[in-house]
Amino acid sequence: MAAIEPVVERSLFLRAQTIIEERRVELPEDEMLARLRATQKRRGRLSGAIINETIGLPCTATYMDHFGTLRNAYRLIGYTTKRDCDWIDSGQLWAEAVAKLAHQIAVAIDKAGDHWNINDAGDCLLVNGNVGISFRVARCWPGKKIGHSPRWAIQRRKHLPAGWVVAIRLTQSKAVLDYLLLPTSELVAPMIKFTEKARSRYKALRFETFDAVVRSIVGRVTRTGRAARTNRARPNRPPRSRRPKRRNKHGRL
């Protein structure tokens, strides 16, 4: 006899368990490639999103663990793609960089005496339960024509808490160029693209170092930082001297 009354139907529970088990199954590498090849023939193409959403297929991180890069796994099944596999292969590297930056900000928030929580993906902090600090990587794209300025792109997640977005802006060679801080209210499209000249359109603040970003965020989202900004905005002024009241000709005030 069950000790706790179930909250979902048994059939739904068993179906969910089957999906989970299929995700966790350990496969030999030749079977991993066979399933990848079958998926490519069925879908007509491959991408990181297709691989990660296909039931019974290991995720992209697993393919990279086994075959070094996603491009190498594609090569082994005879598939060629025009997509930027280098970017997909570097995804774990940037995920680790984002986690490190999130940790630095969390430590600074702790020191300021405020509270924070982090989501499962490790790319969003929620400060005091109401201000979000999300992290993104801003990829660089060359200009469409010779002489045109490069563009950067920031992808907006579906669930983006109100607050700020910290974007690691990259060069075309995928080195860190600088850091941008944007209000989430400006990220209304699934993806925003901008040139350096058009950066102000999204109210993006630029910082050369991440330490500078941390200081700016602490000053914006913590109670201590907000209080300090209020005091700076309202400097102490000496009291204004009051003029003595004049008496009229009858000696009255």
29 to each of 38, 63, 101, 218, how far by Cα in Å?
Answer: 14, 9, 35, 47
CB neighbours of residue 38 within 10 Å:
14
- Taking the C-alpha atoms of residue 79 and residue 97, their distance in angstroms, rounded to an integer, is 30
pLDDT above 80: residue 242: no
Contacts of 215 (CB under 8 A, 6+ apart): 108
Instruction: Report phi then psi at 36, rounded to 5.
Output: -65, -40
Domain ranges across the chain: 10-82, 91-233
- For the record, the structure tokens of 114 come out as 């405020």
Percent share of the chain, pLDDT over 90? 29
Is residue 10 classed as helix, strand or coil in its secondary structure?
helix
pLDDT above 50: residue 2: no
pLDDT above 90: residue 243: no
Q: Which residue has the higher pLDDT, 99 or 207?
A: 207
Is the CA virtual torsion 68, 71, 74, 75 positive or negative?
negative
**Paired residues of 194 in beta bridges:** 152
Residues 44-68: tens digit of each pLDDT: 988 877 888 888 898 887 888 888 8
Tell me the pTM. 0.60
Residues 85 and 69 sit within 8 Å (Cβ to Cβ): yes
- Work out the mean pLDDT of the chain and round it to a whole number: 80
pLDDT above 60: residue 3: no
Is the CA virtual torsion 116, 211, 231, 132 positive or negative?
negative
Taking Cα atoms as reference points, which of 101, 161, 96, 169 lies closest to residue 133?
161
Is the CA virtual torsion 181, 97, 54, 49 positive or negative?
positive
- Residue found by looking up tokens 């700016």 in the block: 216
Q: 205 burial class (0-12, 13-18, 19+ CB within 10 angstroms)? A: middle
Mean pLDDT score, 164-182 = 91
- Taking the C-alpha atoms of residue 169 and residue 8, their distance in angstroms, rounded to an integer, is 45
HEC per residue, 129-172: CCEEEEEEEEEEECCCCCCCCCEEEEECCCCCCCEEEEEEEECC
